[in-house]
């Protein structure tokens, strides 16, 4: 069964590829309409994570973004530690 891991938590996805694509597309569509009160821009990355399970191009984009964010975070943490000394 397909699942997405966030740290120690795992969220299971439907077995059907069609259902996963529909859920991911729904999140992306909801994220584009993020200016509305119920929806939010947080839905765009969640939709990309769901779609990355089935599409290699989206998976590649997600991994590159994840690496860039983690490098910036590590640089930020090291910069703060050096200033405290």
Q: Tokens for 76? A: 């930020």
Residue whose C-alpha is closest to residue 43's, from 51, 35, 52, 34:
34
* Kind of pairing between the strands at 9-12 and 3-6: antiparallel
3-49 pLDDT, tens digit each: 888 788 888 888 899 999 999 999 999 988 888 887 888 888 889 88
58-83 pLDDT, tens digit each: 899 989 988 999 999 999 888 766 55
pTM here is 0.70
């Amino acid at each position: 069964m397909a699942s997405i891991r966030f740290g120690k938590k795992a969220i299971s996805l439907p077995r059907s590829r069609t259902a996963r694509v529909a859920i991911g597309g729904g999140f992306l569509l909801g994220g584009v309409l993020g200016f509305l009160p119920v929806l939010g821009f947080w839905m765009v990355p969640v939709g990309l994570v769901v779609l990355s399970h089935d599409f290699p191009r989206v998976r590649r984009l997600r991994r590159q973004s994840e690496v860039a964010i983690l490098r910036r975070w590590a640089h930020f943490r090291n910069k703060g530690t050096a200033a405290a000394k």
